[in-house]
Structure 1
Amino acid sequence: MTTSPDTLPITRVPRTGLPARAVVVGDPGRAAAVADLLSDAKEVSYHREYRVFTGSWQGTDVVVASHGVGAPGAILLFQELAEAGVSTLIRLGTAGAIRPGIRDGDLVIADAAVRDDGVTQQLIPAEYPAFSAPEAVLALQRAARAADAPYHRGVVWTRAAFQPGFLPLPGEAYTAAGIAAIEMELSALYVFASTHGLTAGGALVVDGANADELVDTEATGGYDPHRNVVAEGVDRGARITLDALRLLASAER
């Protein structure tokens, strides 16, 4: 299939004209669910894992886009959204809790991320930090408080592999250091955004235990992100994320 000269090659989004603010999610189905919250929602492209909508949230024009699983593919979406005019991106995702006291369905607002993502190490030296824009953190916190939602702030661990393998992991050290949660894409967004002059933030809904934890499957049924408490948290998180984009837009006027 040939690519239209009016669209970008990986995601097939239009080369120009997208709104400046975006919610990015992993699942194409989640992108559609978030888009359902918008006024005048329109699907503008759907290619591979990249499903992209535009619409309006309480008067603020936004993009909702999916990036699939894993940072290498996700950073391709971030790149093409930026080329098409997006300058603020907030990732709405799910994560496994690490810090004690964080419950299923709670929101983790990520101040920064550990760069274990499998792609940014090939782009910039490991010493370069992965950090949220402070204004995005504060907007998410303000929106969470307004929604009376349970939330936590902290550093998250972005890790390329979902399942454990044969190599030892620094889980005990990260737990002792107070890492809040583990997920798979956020550090790539933070590094891409900060190196390209963009604003980025992360809001992660807890959907269970650390994927590397030894789980008693007979007692717990194992990892199951498809529970009502998680679905309710994601819906709440979507509204908080959209509200944070609205607050950021208001602050720029």
Structure 2
Amino acid sequence: MTTELLPITRVPRTGLPSHAVVVGDPARAAEVAGLLDDAKEVSHHREYRTFTGTWKGTPLVVSSHGVGGPGAILLFQELADAGVRTILRLGTAGAIRTGILDGDLVIADAAVRDDGVTQQLLPPEYPAFCAPEAVLALRRAAVEAGAPYHRGVVWTRAAFQPGFVTLPAAAYTRAGIAAIEMELSALLVLASTRGLVAGGVLVIDGANADELVDEEATGGYNPHREVVADGVALGSRVALDAVHLLANESTESPETIK
């Protein structure tokens, strides 16, 4: 019997594990999947590339969602339709808060909904928040891995390149926003409306936020550096360990994920 495939991502409607790590780049999905046991590619359509495998005995999905919230939320919706109940985003971001360095991890508590898609789904007052258990699992995994990490609210912004509109970067800096990225709030809103557990861990690939959001400066941005690659490698293991913790938390005491 032919397995039914979902229309946008072409992932199978049934048979996927219930926990997933999602990334932007299809090549990064393959790299993360390369860490798994019994990894198998199950679909690759457009920017959506999906693998299954196991990490420390936990079955999981690794999938790519491309760049930007409007496309990414299509993956999140179809993973949910396929039975995935936990989704952690492993991404890259630009640091805003002082003291967050290239290669560091930012574990999100919540996100500013400037993603370009969820405003068309829900009123802007609806929050984009990470599941507390996801935050705590990521924190525990980062501590156990010895990874430099920070926690805080992140700014999900739809446009990557600066335009002609003055951005509220100064206000967000004063408010203590940790970092800026492009997809997390779309995941968080979708997850909370679908009853999913979701969170995000971001690797800093630019520690000068003024250059990332200032209208006249983008030429210095270079994410293709060893310090970023090292951070992504460490962040990949942190995300996978956190999924393993979440998958097995029902068998642990409440104090073990903290």
- What TM-score bracket applies, with the shorter chain setting the length? over 0.9
**What's the secondary structure of 1:55's corresponding residue?**
strand
Aligned residues: 246
Find the residue that maps to 1:202 and give its secondary structure: strand
Match in the other structure for 1:212: 213
Report the Cα distance in structure 2 between the residues aligned to 1:76 and 1:189, rounded to whole angstroms.
10
SS for the counterpart of 1:226 is coil
Q: What is the rounded CA distance, in whole Å, between the counterparts of 1:149 and 1:6 in structure 2?
A: 40
The CA deviation at 1:8 is 0.3
Paired amino acid for 1:197? G
Report the TM-score when normalising by structure 1: 0.95
> Deviation digits for residues 103-123 of structure 1, max 9, x if unmatched?
000000000000000000000
Say which of 177, 182, 185 aligns to 1:184: 182
1:15 matched to which residue of 2?
13
How do 1:142-153 residues align onto structure 2 when only pairs under 5 Å count?
142-153=140-151
Letter in 1 for 2:184: L
* Distance in 1, Cα, partners of 2:73 & 2:250: 26
Residue of structure 2 in register with 1:64 after alignment: 62
Aligned to 1:92: 90
Q: SS of the residue aligned with 1:40?
A: strand
2:79 aligned partner: 81
- The whole-number CA distance in structure 2 between the counterparts of 1:11 and 1:215 is 35
In the alignment, is residue 163 of structure 1 matched against residue 161 of structure 2?
yes
**Aligned counterparts of 1:123 and 1:68: Cα–Cα separation in 2:** 20
Answer whether contact 2:161 2:218 (CA < 8 A) is retained.
no
Aligned position for 1:196: 194
Q: Does 1:49 align with 2:47?
A: yes
Q: Partners in 1 of 2:194 and 2:250 — Cα distance? A: 19
Distance in 2 (CA, whole Å) between partners of 1:147 and 1:202 is 17
- What residue is the counterpart of 2:29 in the other structure? 31
Report SS of the residue matched to 2:180. strand
1:217-247 Cα shifts (integer Å, max 9, x gaps): 5xxxx11000000000001000000000001
Identity %: 74
1:250 Cα deviation (Å)? Answer: 1.1
Hey, which bits of structure 1, 4+ residues long, moved more than 2 A? 213-217
Deviation readout 1:189-232 (Å, 9 max, x if unpaired) = 00000011000000000000332135495xxxx11000000000
TM-score, with length taken from structure 2: 0.93
Q: Secondary structure at the match of 2:137?
A: helix
Describe the superposition over 1:68-102 as per-residue Cα deviations: whole angstroms up to 9, x where unpaired: 00000000000000111100000000000000000
Cα contact 2:87–2:198 (8 A) shared by 1: yes
Alignment partner for residue 107 of structure 1, among 93, 105, 108?
Answer: 105
Q: SS of the residue aligned with 1:23?
A: strand
Q: Distance in 2 between matches of 1:196 and 1:114?
A: 19
Residue 89 of structure 2 aligns to a residue whose secondary structure is strand
Structure 2 residue aligned with 1:135? 133
Whether the 8 Å contact between 2:115 and 2:183 is mirrored in structure 1 is: yes
Report the residue type matching 1:230 in the other structure. V
Shift of 1:252: 2.4
State the secondary structure of the residue aligned to 2:40.
Answer: strand
Over the aligned positions, Cα root-mean-square deviation in angstroms equals 1.1
CA distance in 2, matches of 1:129, 1:143: 26
Structure 2 contact 106–151 (Cα < 8 Å) conserved = yes
Gaps of 5+ in 1: none
Q: Distance between the aligned counterparts of 1:147 and 1:198, measured in 2?
A: 26
